[in-house]
Amino acid sequence: MDELHEHYQEVLSAVIEEYFITACPVGSKFVANNCPLSLSSASIRNIMADMEERGYLSQPHFSAGRVPTPLGYKLYIESILKTKKISRRQKENIKLKIDFSNNKDIKNILKQTIRSLSDVSHYTGVVLAPEVSVSKLLHIEFIKVGPHNILVVIIFEGGIVENRIILVDKNYDDDTLVKYSRKLNSIIEGHDHNLDELREIIIKEMLRDREDFYFILNKMFFDFNFNNNGEEDKDDYLLIGSEEILFDEPEFASHDKIKSLLKAFNDKKTIIKLLELTKEKKGTMVFIGSDTEWSEINGLTLITAPYKSKKGHAGGSIGVIGPARMNYSFVIPVVDYMAELLSEMIMI
């Protein structure tokens, strides 16, 4: 990416910050009157024309001012942007929206967190939940809820609970399921097994013992985190907040734009991919959709930050999706703070 002269950076910053407020193309006269440069409108116009040629600005109509391009936003974020600090009062307001009393229910914590993030940022919150399958197992229980449906209750270290309904071919009675629960917990008791390790034990036992018990377990474990193709099903780990919050943005005023927005949210694989990239990094990441990069979210920006549980056993990433015309100086530190808050709340 080009190293822009200070004058160019000032002009780009003025255009982006005014465009965020008005959502209208920004003209050279406005920049000349509001930018800390002693340059005429003609000089500013020449700079803007040059920046358009370099791909940082675009002109929607011949007589209109300029608007930032994805490349312009990227340069602004990487080289020009000065983020704001979140005030103590803002932090307290965020905390008030989250119920800390039940910090063992991860999904509930995450839902409250992205709701709070959406309220504060006015964009759609997204979060990738931690994969609890790597956490230490404490207890598993099978409960009959129908002729061919079994509720599997799995308790992890820290009191985290996961519930899943599995479909079985045979109508098992309550006594049999109690017996199976006890048998499985005898394997778990006194060992530091996680779900992945226990799955390996079950597979080995199946080769030696054809009892129904091990086939129920096999069904349970492969239904727990995998889809019909035998691949890990990441969709279960993705939570998306209210998409309607973005409908008030001028970018999504038309029916076609709303369809494009909903399509981006329905393509969970792309959102998961970007959140997965963030999970392995440190600090906030910004993904700006364009025709050439992250085209699946073209016209949108995803700002994300990783979080890690207190004991380091579980981690994920949290963020917001909104239009490229976004208040980056405020939203980036908000997302970063929400990630810090999640790291403090999750106990496993």
pLDDT in tens, 153-166: 888 776 667 778 88
Whether residue 208 sits in one domain with residue 304? no
Same domain, 270 and 256: yes
The verdict on residue 329 lying in a domain is yes
Q: What is the CATH number of the domain that holds 219?
A: 3.30.390.60
Q: Is residue 256 part of a domain?
A: yes
245 within 8 A of 122, measured Cβ to Cβ:
yes
Q: Are residues 114 and 260 in the same domain?
A: yes
Count: domains in the chain: 3
Q: Which two tokens stand for residue 94?
A: 């965020």
**72 and 124 housed in the same domain:** no
Residue 214: predicted pLDDT: 63
* CATH number of the domain encompassing residue 43: 1.10.10.10
Q: Could you tell me if 240 and 339 lie in one domain?
A: yes
Q: Assess whether 126 and 240 both reside in one domain.
A: yes
Low-confidence ranges of the chain (pLDDT < 70): 1-3, 100-105, 132-135, 158-160, 190-191, 193, 195, 202-235, 311-314, 347-348
1 domain-assigned? no
What CATH code is carried by the domain that includes residue 298? 3.30.450.40
Residue 58 lies in a domain: yes
Return the structure tokens found at 136: 């230490």
Tens-digit pLDDT profile for residues 235-292: 677 899 988 899 889 988 878 888 888 888 887 888 999 999 998 788 899 999 988 8
Same domain, 137 and 226: yes
Same domain, yes or no, for 185 and 242?
no
- Examine the domain organization and report whether 70 and 120 are in the same domain: no
Domain co-membership, 151 together with 244:
no
pLDDT of residue 208: 64
271 lies in which domain range?
A: 88-130+236-345
